[in-house]
């Protein structure tokens, strides 16, 4: 079925899917995501079969089928490079969108908490510590961890070392750099506002 849909029917070569006549780039992106999901599914089934015929902790017993990502993505240089650009742009865009919507609210929460004074701090209930913990780890950090985990899984899905190295260099490294730049910029902004604030007992 996979051979018929992807190779015999030239799914990733059809102008409606890729190329200048592509109607919706999300179609090919979803198709590539299915390759990774299919590979993960087959490997999971191979691991389940290992529990019956060998030591489940020994990776040498796992019979890995040919990977769809290698057969239909790594082997197509133009498609691979196009997908790497889309992958990088997509995750960086999600990171910036999360930052613009959460860092401002995170900043205002910290300012409100600081302006409340010592009386409010002493009157906090036991769940105040939980709220403080949440302010220390804004949603952008959780998103970054999720994106990094997803990227790592995709990187490991390639058995082709060159494709894996390209993914690390063109997707994972830029993702980490963007996150560090955003955290650095936010930390510098917070430090600047803190130094500009008149010294009080509460601050």
Nearest to 163 by CA among 75, 91, 87, 85: 75
196 token code pair: 């500009």
Distances (CA, A) of 71 to 52, 68, 158, 159: 29, 5, 10, 10
**Tens digits of pLDDT across the chain (203 residues):** 666 667 766 777 777 676 666 667 788 888 889 989 988 888 888 777 665 555 545 545 555 677 888 888 888 888 899 899 999 999 999 888 887 776 555 555 555 555 544 444 444 544 555 555 445 566 788 889 999 999 998 998 888 889 999 999 999 999 999 999 888 887 787 788 788 877 766 65
| pTM value surpassing 0.75 | no
Please give the backbone phi and psi of residue 18, each rounded to the nearest 5 degrees, phi first: -130, 165
127 token code pair: 């769940």
> Backbone dihedral region of 30: left (phi > 0), alpha (psi from -120 to 50 degrees) or beta?
alpha
Do residues 175 and 143 make contact, with C-beta atoms less than 8 angstroms apart?
no
Question: Where do the domains of the chain lie?
Answer: 1-75, 80-203
One DSSP character per residue, 5-35 reads IIIITTGGG-TTTSSTT-S-HHHHHHHHHHH
119 token code pair: 């009386």
């Amino acid at each position: 079925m996979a051979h018929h849909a992807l190779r015999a029917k030239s799914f990733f070569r059809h102008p409606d899917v890729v190329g200048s006549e592509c109607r919706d780039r999300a179609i090919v992106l979803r198709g590539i995501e299915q390759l990774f999901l299919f590979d993960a599914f087959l490997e999971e089934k191979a691991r389940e079969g290992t529990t019956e015929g060998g030591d489940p902790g020994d990776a040498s017993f796992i019979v890995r089928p040919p990977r769809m990502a290698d057969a239909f993505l790594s082997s197509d240089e133009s498609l691979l490079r196009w997908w790497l650009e889309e992958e990088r742009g997509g995750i960086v865009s999600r990171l910036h969108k999360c930052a613009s919507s959460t860092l401002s609210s995170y900043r205002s929460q910290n300012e409100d908490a600081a302006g409340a004074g010592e009386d409010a701090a002493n009157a906090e209930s036991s769940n105040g510590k939980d709220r403080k913990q949440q302010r220390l780890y804004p949603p952008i950090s959780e998103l970054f961890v999720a994106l990094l985990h997803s990227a790592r899984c995709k990187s490991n899905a390639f058995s082709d070392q060159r494709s894996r190295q390209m993914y690390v260099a063109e997707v994972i490294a830029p993702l980490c750099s963007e996150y560090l730049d955003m955290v650095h910029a936010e930390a510098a902004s917070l430090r600047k506002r803190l130094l500009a604030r008149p010294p009080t007992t509460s601050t």
